[in-house]
Chains A and B, each alone.
Chain A
């Protein structure tokens, strides 16, 4: 039986990817960010997940305004890094896990979560930056990835509660997969940031700390937060933190926080990271 052994929350700031790609990660500004992931990289290298489900949002890359799926799962054998306007990121092609991905899609749909199935999808920094932060700069990704894209571009994104319940359905799907697989699930994006309009630059460390605390200790309370509150308190784009609740929903009620990191800023955004061990 496949099992979700841990959940990982991680920002996906594009400038982090650019810093890595341009070799700026040794500069003091970026050392502050990357050093926060050193222990996590050791941890995941030791844990060796067989598959990672990465909940992320597409930033007008695979999906434009032509089609806006609320939840879309990548079922392809591989996912090419996209050209986001300055050429594709120099990262390896992302291997998929079509068998498990299709199983999750089927199970979730029968469980009344109508996922959009993507048999071809390019992936952007929303997916590849968290992978770099946890796996480092690699020639080959260490395990297959199942991308799960959530619409947070056009309002409204799914509610936090809906995301949390999707996480539960994903867990049920994973646990009904016959092969013994060690699965990890990533919730990405955030933390507080606003990158649009005259209020751009908003950061709310107090909100972020409470969010991290709540994620570990009382996620159900977080599922009740309304979109307008995310946007007002954590920035218009901060609402993407609902994606972390998909990850949290896939875990036990009680988890062990094994790692936490927070720093401001990476470019325009507060960087947050958490690892929750689900084997308690």
Chain B
């Protein structure tokens, strides 16, 4: 069976959290979910690697969490509403996390938003990003 093509995979810079990613990222997301409890946040901060042993993630997923590779976590099945809890645990505002995902400084990102945000023109299809390179 060949893998079905998904129309939304053609949107650039976007990892749609569908059933496949949800299955793949179950333990990343459950780890993030555990951070809703203050005592778990404290335990995680005290020893991140040890705390992560409780969640059977792949080595790649674990590495992306420890290195705070925000896009990689999404690509490996993390969902933004879950990974945002890791950002909050780190004391980051959501906008700081968003800036990191876009490769901008927080100042640059905040300015882009104040100027009306990222324009959809040129950002609808993957081919538009490839042409820019």
Contacts and interface: CB of A to CB of B under 8 A. Distances in A.
Interface in B46-61: none
Nearest to A227: B8
Q: Range of interface residues on chain A?
A: 35 or more
Nearest to A270: B117
A80 interface: no
B130 interface: no
Contacts of B103: 198
A36 interface: no
A236 B29 contact: no
Interface in A219-257: 227-228, 231-233, 236-237
Chain B binding surface SS class? helix
A64 B33 contact: yes
Interface string B63-97: 00000000100100001111011001100011100
B80 to A, nearest CB: 4
Interface in A84-113: 84-87
B10 to A, nearest CB: 8
A265 interface: yes
Interface of B: 7-8, 11-19, 22, 25-26, 29-30, 32-33, 35-38, 41, 71, 74, 79-82, 84-85, 88-89, 93-95, 98, 101-103, 109, 112-114, 116-120, 123-125
B13 to A, nearest CB: 3
Contacts of A55: none
A83 B16 contact: no
Looking at chain A's contact residues, the main secondary structure is loop
Contacts of B84: 59, 85
B88 A85 contact: yes
A60 B33 contact: yes
B79 A232 contact: no
Given A60-B33, A195-B80, A199-B13, A267 B94 contact: yes
A70 interface: no
Contact of B18 (A59, A86, A154, A267): A154
Contacts of A237: 80
Task: Name the 3 nearest CB pairs between A and B, nearest first.
Answer: A203-B117, A199-B13, A198-B13
